[in-house]
Amino acid sequence: MSPEICSKPTSIQCSISLYPMGSTTYTAVVKDCIQHLAVLAEENNVQIFYHTMNTSLYGNKDAIFSIIRQFYFYAEKRNPDIVLNVSYSNCCPEP
């Protein structure tokens, strides 16, 4: 990988997708959870990007790992059966 792409070893990017299982109000669950994620990102100075099928975060890796943990437990409280797909990369260009 070229040095200009991997120049920030303390920064990572992650992509997350939340799937509330068995919920007839899954859209409301996802929207509420993403709003909570936005608050966590702002509190931790992490950039957040919204996409149709996922949400991406970019910032300090310790902050992102903490945010994802908090997000998981928040989503689980909103809907007991969830699938949360998370992909991490320490070698993405800055957004």
What pLDDT is attached to residue 5?
55
What pLDDT is attached to residue 6?
59
**Residue 47, both tokens:** 């950039």
**Residue 44, both tokens:** 């931790």
Q: Is the pTM of this model over 0.85?
A: yes
CA angle 23, 28, 30 (to 5 degrees): 85
What is the per-residue pLDDT across 1-50, written as a single tens digit (0 to 9) for each?
Answer: 445 555 557 899 999 999 999 989 899 999 999 999 999 999 999 999 99
